[in-house]
Amino acid sequence: MGVRGGGFLEAGDGDERGRGKARARVNAPKLALIRPASAGILPTFPSWSRASALDPNSFSFLERSSPENFLDLALKEAQRALEADEVPVGAVIVDMPTGRVIARAHNQRELLQDPTAHAEVVAITQAAAHYGSWRLTQAALFVTLEPCIMCAGAIVLARIPKVYYSADDPKAGAYRSVFEILANSKNNHVPEVLAGIKAAESGELLREFFRKKRLPPTNGRKGPPG
Protein backbone atom coordinates (compact mmCIF):
# COMPACT_ATOMS: atom_id res chain seq x y z
CA MET A 1 0.00 0.00 0.00
CA GLY A 2 1.52 3.29 -1.05
CA VAL A 3 0.66 6.93 -1.73
CA ARG A 4 -0.62 5.87 -5.14
CA GLY A 5 -1.59 9.35 -6.22
CA GLY A 6 -5.29 8.58 -6.30
CA GLY A 7 -5.14 5.80 -8.87
CA PHE A 8 -6.91 2.50 -8.31
CA LEU A 9 -9.18 0.09 -10.12
CA GLU A 10 -12.15 -1.92 -8.99
CA ALA A 11 -12.58 -5.56 -9.92
CA GLY A 12 -14.70 -4.81 -12.95
CA ASP A 13 -12.02 -2.53 -14.39
CA GLY A 14 -9.38 -5.27 -14.62
CA ASP A 15 -10.14 -8.73 -13.82
CA GLU A 16 6.58 -10.14 22.49
CA ARG A 17 6.95 -7.00 20.66
CA GLY A 18 9.75 -6.31 18.26
CA ARG A 19 12.43 -3.68 18.45
CA GLY A 20 12.86 -0.27 16.83
CA LYS A 21 10.01 0.62 14.47
CA ALA A 22 8.06 -2.46 15.47
CA ARG A 23 8.11 -1.36 19.11
CA ALA A 24 7.10 2.18 18.14
CA ARG A 25 4.15 0.93 16.13
CA VAL A 26 2.86 -1.30 18.91
CA ASN A 27 3.63 0.92 21.89
CA ALA A 28 3.37 4.50 20.66
CA PRO A 29 1.02 6.29 23.07
CA LYS A 30 -0.95 8.03 20.29
CA LEU A 31 -1.78 4.81 18.48
CA ALA A 32 -5.05 3.91 20.12
CA LEU A 33 -6.04 1.90 17.06
CA ILE A 34 -2.90 -0.25 17.05
CA ARG A 35 -3.94 -2.96 19.47
CA PRO A 36 -2.05 -6.10 20.42
CA ALA A 37 -4.14 -9.24 20.07
CA SER A 38 -3.61 -10.01 23.76
CA ALA A 39 -5.88 -7.10 24.64
CA GLY A 40 -8.82 -9.42 24.07
CA ILE A 41 -10.81 -6.90 22.04
CA LEU A 42 -10.36 -8.34 18.57
CA PRO A 43 -13.39 -10.19 17.21
CA THR A 44 -13.72 -13.88 16.58
CA PHE A 45 -16.19 -15.56 14.26
CA PRO A 46 -17.63 -18.80 15.71
CA SER A 47 -18.52 -20.20 12.30
CA TRP A 48 -14.81 -20.25 11.45
CA SER A 49 -13.54 -21.51 14.79
CA ARG A 50 -14.21 -25.15 13.91
CA ALA A 51 -11.17 -25.33 11.64
CA SER A 52 -8.44 -27.52 13.06
CA ALA A 53 -4.71 -26.91 12.90
CA LEU A 54 -4.53 -30.47 11.53
CA ASP A 55 -7.08 -29.79 8.81
CA PRO A 56 -5.51 -30.88 5.48
CA ASN A 57 -7.10 -27.83 3.86
CA SER A 58 -5.78 -24.90 5.86
CA PHE A 59 -8.24 -22.52 4.21
CA SER A 60 -11.35 -24.60 4.91
CA PHE A 61 -12.62 -22.03 7.41
CA LEU A 62 -13.04 -19.64 4.48
CA GLU A 63 -14.85 -22.22 2.37
CA ARG A 64 -17.54 -22.52 5.06
CA SER A 65 -18.00 -18.78 5.36
CA SER A 66 -17.42 -15.57 3.46
CA PRO A 67 -14.14 -13.61 3.38
CA GLU A 68 -16.27 -10.50 2.86
CA ASN A 69 -16.71 -10.37 6.64
CA PHE A 70 -12.99 -9.95 7.21
CA LEU A 71 -12.73 -7.37 4.45
CA ASP A 72 -15.57 -5.48 6.10
CA LEU A 73 -13.29 -5.21 9.15
CA ALA A 74 -10.45 -4.03 6.93
CA LEU A 75 -12.77 -1.42 5.41
CA LYS A 76 -13.56 -0.17 8.92
CA GLU A 77 -9.83 0.33 9.44
CA ALA A 78 -9.65 2.16 6.10
CA GLN A 79 -12.48 4.43 7.26
CA ARG A 80 -10.47 5.26 10.39
CA ALA A 81 -7.54 6.17 8.16
CA LEU A 82 -9.79 8.46 6.12
CA GLU A 83 -10.99 10.20 9.27
CA ALA A 84 -7.35 10.72 10.30
CA ASP A 85 -6.50 12.21 6.87
CA GLU A 86 -4.42 9.17 5.93
CA VAL A 87 -4.71 7.29 2.64
CA PRO A 88 -7.68 5.03 3.44
CA VAL A 89 -6.26 1.54 3.37
CA GLY A 90 -6.99 -1.02 6.09
CA ALA A 91 -5.81 -4.55 6.81
CA VAL A 92 -6.61 -7.42 9.12
CA ILE A 93 -4.77 -10.70 9.68
CA VAL A 94 -6.62 -13.87 10.63
CA ASP A 95 -5.30 -16.99 12.32
CA MET A 96 -6.55 -19.71 9.98
CA PRO A 97 -6.87 -22.62 12.43
CA THR A 98 -9.19 -20.60 14.70
CA GLY A 99 -10.66 -17.93 12.44
CA ARG A 100 -9.64 -15.27 14.97
CA VAL A 101 -8.54 -11.79 13.95
CA ILE A 102 -5.10 -11.35 15.48
CA ALA A 103 -4.13 -8.02 13.92
CA ARG A 104 -5.88 -5.00 12.47
CA ALA A 105 -4.37 -1.75 11.25
CA HIS A 106 -4.63 1.12 8.81
CA ASN A 107 -2.21 3.43 7.07
CA GLN A 108 -0.41 5.63 9.62
CA ARG A 109 2.42 7.25 7.72
CA GLU A 110 1.34 10.80 8.53
CA LEU A 111 0.80 10.03 12.22
CA LEU A 112 4.16 8.32 12.63
CA GLN A 113 5.99 10.18 9.86
CA ASP A 114 7.23 6.74 8.88
CA PRO A 115 7.26 5.79 5.19
CA THR A 116 6.96 2.11 6.10
CA ALA A 117 3.80 2.50 8.22
CA HIS A 118 1.47 1.02 5.62
CA ALA A 119 -1.55 -0.94 6.85
CA GLU A 120 -0.11 -4.30 5.81
CA VAL A 121 3.27 -3.72 7.47
CA VAL A 122 1.73 -2.51 10.74
CA ALA A 123 -0.62 -5.52 10.78
CA ILE A 124 2.23 -7.93 10.03
CA THR A 125 4.18 -6.45 12.96
CA GLN A 126 1.19 -7.05 15.25
CA ALA A 127 0.73 -10.61 14.01
CA ALA A 128 4.41 -11.42 14.55
CA ALA A 129 4.08 -10.13 18.11
CA HIS A 130 1.01 -12.33 18.59
CA TYR A 131 2.79 -15.48 17.42
CA GLY A 132 6.18 -14.59 18.85
CA SER A 133 7.60 -15.43 15.43
CA TRP A 134 8.24 -13.71 12.12
CA ARG A 135 6.87 -16.75 10.29
CA LEU A 136 3.16 -16.14 9.75
CA THR A 137 2.58 -19.49 8.08
CA GLN A 138 -0.94 -20.01 9.43
CA ALA A 139 -2.21 -16.48 8.78
CA ALA A 140 -4.38 -14.95 6.07
CA LEU A 141 -4.10 -11.26 5.19
CA PHE A 142 -7.12 -9.18 4.15
CA VAL A 143 -6.39 -5.70 2.78
CA THR A 144 -8.49 -3.12 0.98
CA LEU A 145 -5.96 -2.22 -1.75
CA GLU A 146 -3.49 -4.23 -3.80
CA PRO A 147 -0.18 -4.30 -1.86
CA CYS A 148 2.72 -2.14 -3.06
CA ILE A 149 6.27 -3.43 -3.60
CA MET A 150 7.25 -2.94 0.03
CA CYS A 151 4.15 -4.63 1.43
CA ALA A 152 4.34 -7.45 -1.10
CA GLY A 153 7.93 -8.03 -0.04
CA ALA A 154 6.89 -8.11 3.61
CA ILE A 155 4.16 -10.64 2.79
CA VAL A 156 6.69 -12.90 1.06
CA LEU A 157 9.23 -12.54 3.87
CA ALA A 158 6.59 -13.29 6.51
CA ARG A 159 5.57 -16.45 4.61
CA ILE A 160 1.89 -15.45 4.66
CA PRO A 161 0.15 -18.18 2.63
CA LYS A 162 -3.08 -16.42 1.65
CA VAL A 163 -3.85 -12.82 0.64
CA TYR A 164 -7.23 -11.25 -0.13
CA TYR A 165 -7.48 -7.69 -1.40
CA SER A 166 -10.18 -5.40 -2.72
CA ALA A 167 -9.25 -2.76 -5.32
CA ASP A 168 -6.43 -3.04 -7.84
CA ASP A 169 -3.80 -0.27 -7.76
CA PRO A 170 -2.68 0.60 -11.32
CA LYS A 171 0.03 2.98 -10.08
CA ALA A 172 1.79 0.89 -7.44
CA GLY A 173 0.18 -2.56 -7.23
CA ALA A 174 2.65 -5.40 -6.80
CA TYR A 175 0.47 -8.42 -7.51
CA ARG A 176 -0.66 -7.82 -11.09
CA SER A 177 -1.28 -4.14 -11.82
CA VAL A 178 2.28 -2.79 -12.14
CA PHE A 179 4.60 -5.40 -10.65
CA GLU A 180 4.15 -9.12 -10.00
CA ILE A 181 6.03 -9.57 -6.74
CA LEU A 182 3.37 -11.78 -5.16
CA ALA A 183 3.05 -13.88 -8.31
CA ASN A 184 6.76 -14.31 -9.04
CA SER A 185 7.58 -18.02 -9.05
CA LYS A 186 11.25 -17.22 -8.40
CA ASN A 187 10.42 -16.13 -4.85
CA ASN A 188 11.10 -18.64 -2.09
CA HIS A 189 7.45 -18.19 -1.07
CA VAL A 190 4.46 -17.52 -3.35
CA PRO A 191 1.15 -16.83 -1.59
CA GLU A 192 -2.26 -17.55 -2.99
CA VAL A 193 -4.00 -14.29 -3.87
CA LEU A 194 -7.67 -13.53 -4.40
CA ALA A 195 -8.51 -10.03 -5.67
CA GLY A 196 -11.61 -7.93 -6.19
CA ILE A 197 -13.63 -8.61 -3.02
CA LYS A 198 -15.36 -5.43 -1.80
CA ALA A 199 -13.58 -3.48 -4.53
CA ALA A 200 -16.42 -0.97 -4.96
CA GLU A 201 -16.44 -0.06 -1.26
CA SER A 202 -12.67 0.32 -1.17
CA GLY A 203 -12.70 2.39 -4.34
CA GLU A 204 -15.29 4.79 -2.94
CA LEU A 205 -13.18 5.48 0.16
CA LEU A 206 -10.14 6.20 -2.01
CA ARG A 207 -12.13 8.47 -4.32
CA GLU A 208 -13.48 10.39 -1.33
CA PHE A 209 -9.97 10.88 0.05
CA PHE A 210 -8.52 12.20 -3.19
CA ARG A 211 -11.57 14.37 -3.93
CA LYS A 212 -10.94 16.14 -0.64
CA LYS A 213 -7.27 16.54 -1.45
CA ARG A 214 -8.13 18.24 -4.74
CA LEU A 215 -10.46 20.81 -3.15
CA PRO A 216 -9.04 24.37 -3.01
CA PRO A 217 -7.88 25.45 0.47
CA THR A 218 -10.44 27.27 2.56
CA ASN A 219 -8.73 30.54 3.49
CA GLY A 220 -11.78 32.73 4.03
CA ARG A 221 -11.78 34.14 0.50
CA LYS A 222 -14.92 33.85 -1.55
CA GLY A 223 -13.28 34.31 -4.90
CA PRO A 224 -9.89 34.38 -6.64
CA PRO A 225 -7.30 36.78 -5.23
CA GLY A 226 -7.05 40.24 -6.74
- The count of residues in the chain is 226
The catalytic position among 10, 77, 86, 120 is: 120
Phi, psi of 155 (to 5 degrees): -60, -45
- Is 208 marked active-site? no
Type of residue numbered 158: A
List C-alpha distances in Å: 171 to 2, 147, 148. 9, 11, 9
CA distance linking residue 207 with residue 77, whole number of Å: 16
Active site residues: 120
